[in-house]
A and B are shown apart, each in its own frame.
Chain A
Amino acid sequence: MAAAPRRAHRCDERGAALVVTLVALLVMGGLLATYLAVSALEPQISRNLADASRARHLAEAGVERGFNVLIGIADATGGWSVLLAGATVAHPWMPVAGLTNVALARTANAGTFSVSVRNDNGAADTPITGLSASTRPSMDTSPTADDNATVIMRSTGTFDRVSKTVEVVVQRAALPPFAAALSIPATTLRAAVAAAAVDIDGRDYGCAGGGLSCDTESSWAVTSNPLKYGVSVGPDARAAIESALAAPSIGDGVKGKSRTDPAGAYATGLETVTSDGALTPTRVDEFVRVVARNPATAVLQSTAACPLVLTGASAATSTATLGNGCGMTTTVDLGSRQDPRLVFVRGDLILDRGVKGAGILLVQDGDLTSQGDLEWDGVVIVAGRGATLSLSGGGRTAIRGAAIASESIAGGTVDVAIGGSSAGLSVRTSAQNLSMAQGLRALHSIVNWREI
Chain B
Amino acid sequence: MLVATAVLAVGLVAIATGFQYATSGVAVGGGESTAVFLAEQRVEQLRADAMSDFSAPSLGPGTTTEYCAPAIIAGRTSTCQDTAGAGASYVRRTTISDVTGSMGCPARPVWCKQVEVRVGYRPVTSTGELNQAREIDVITVLGPRA
Task: Using CB atoms and an 8 Å cutoff, list the residues of chain A in contact with chain B.
Answer: 17-18, 20-22, 24-25, 28-29, 32, 35-36, 38-47, 49-50, 53-54, 57-58, 60-61, 64-69, 72, 97-99, 102, 104-105, 110-111, 294-298, 338-339, 342, 441-442
Contacts and interface: CB of A to CB of B under 8 A. Distances in A.
Name, among A28, A45, A67, the residue most crowded by chain B CB atoms within 10 Å (CB to CB).
A28
Interface in B8-35: 8, 11-12, 15, 18-19, 21-26, 28-33, 35
Given A20-B4, A45-B29, A47-B32, A60 B22 contact: no
Contact of B33 (A40, A46, A339): A46
A111 B32 CA distance: 19
B138 interface: yes
Contact of A36 (B4, B21, B51): B21
A46 B30 contact: yes
Given A65-B112, A99-B103, A338-B109, A17 B1 contact: yes
A61 B3 contact: no
Contacts of B51: 296
User: What does DSSP make chain A's interface, helix, strand, loop or mixed?
Assistant: helix
Name, among A21, A24, A342, A442, the residue most crowded by chain B CB atoms within 10 Å (CB to CB).
A21
B49 to A, nearest CB: 14
Interface stretch (B36-44, B69-77, B79-87): B36-44
B109 A64 contact: no
A42 B141 contact: no
A138 B58 CA distance: 41
Interface residues of B, number: 50
B138 A38 contact: no
Given A54-B137, A54-B139, A42 B114 contact: no
A53 B140 CA distance: 10
Nearest to A443: B146
Contact of A297 (B22, B109, B116, B146): B146
Contacts of A72: 106
A65 B104 contact: yes
A24 B21 contact: no
A57 B18 contact: no
A65 B104 CA distance: 4
B136 interface: yes
Contact of B142 (A18, A38, A64, A295): A64
B36 A49 contact: yes
13 contacts: A18-B4, A39-B25, A43-B29, A49-B33, A50-B36, A53-B36, A58-B139, A97-B103, A99-B103, A99-B104, A110-B139, A441-B144, A441-B145
B7 interface: yes
A61 B138 CA distance: 11
Interface string B111-146: 110101000000000000000000011111111111
B112 A21 contact: no
A25 B8 contact: yes
A65 B139 contact: no
